Amino acid sequence: MTFTRYAIYYAPPAGAEWSQFATRWLGWDMARGCIVPQPEIPGLDMAAITRVPRKYGLHATLKPPMRLAQGYSLADLQAGCADLAATQAPVVLEGLHLARLGRFLALRVSGDETSLGALASACVRDLDAFRAPASEAELEKRRAAGLSPAQEANLSAWGYPYVLDQFRFHVTLTGRLPKAELPDVEATLEAHLLPLLPRPLEIRDLAMVGEDTEGRFHLIHRYALSGVAAG
């Protein structure tokens, strides 16, 4: 399969009950590379609610999607990711909770995120040699959202504004919803997904994913975090 961009994700374990539900909720299984039937929930237009995040699969971004820099191959990126994972310890977090991000719904981390932020920063910095520079069109698209000085500095340095000190871990579950729909969708997720969420949440690998020519992301490989925690 031909991929146009690559990213490093946290991808929940496929066998976990909560990730199975959330994968069906989105309607795309990136591990199997296929569309999956969404749950039928009275009053909710599931296809519309999840249209935007569906193609990305169930994930939280650690290294944002990038094209490969000239002179690098997928094999080079895979080797770099394996090397990075060997230096990073698994991350254990208190858990996840449902949150509103503007008019989107997503899962956010409960409790201290310091170790997670350090892992994401390592992914951004240590794999950046493999990233082709962002085009002017891509940069202007990001700037159109309105960026703070810190976000603009990140965009210039790393090709994406929401990294390093601006990073906010989130597992996106919906697109931007009309205000009137938010309560019903939120209540549905609270009833069906929240009871399944793990406590604690353990991140034990990095997931390399690739974007196909139709814009859908596929799991390429998981790299076990095998380093030793500091201290």
Tokens representing 202? 């353990």
Q: What is the pLDDT along the chain (231 residues), one digit of tens a residue?
A: 899 999 999 999 989 999 999 999 999 999 999 999 999 999 999 999 999 999 999 999 999 999 999 999 999 999 999 999 999 999 999 999 999 999 999 999 999 999 999 999 999 999 999 999 988 998 999 999 899 999 999 999 999 999 999 999 999 999 999 999 999 999 999 999 999 999 999 999 999 999 999 999 999 999 999 987 765
pLDDT at position 227, please?
85
Is 151 domain-assigned? Answer: no
In a domain? residue 156: no
User: Can you give the pLDDT at residue 228?
Assistant: 78
78 falls within a domain? yes
Query: 31 lies in which domain range?
Result: 5-130+167-224
- pLDDT score at 231: 56
Looking up residue 32, the CATH number of its domain turns out to be 3.90.1140.10
How many domains does the structure of the chain reveal? 1
Strand 91-93 and strand 95-101: the pairing is unpaired
- Please count the other Cβ atoms lying within 10 Å of the Cβ belonging to residue 123: 25
Residue 23 lies in a domain: yes
Q: Answer yes or no: is 22 within a domain.
A: yes
Predicted pLDDT of residue 230 = 64
DSSP string, 36-72: -PPP--TT--HHHHTHHHHTT-S-EEEEEEEPBPTT-
CB 93 within 8 A of CB 120: no
Tell whether 210 is covered by a domain. yes
- Helices vs strands, H then E, count in the chain: 8, 11
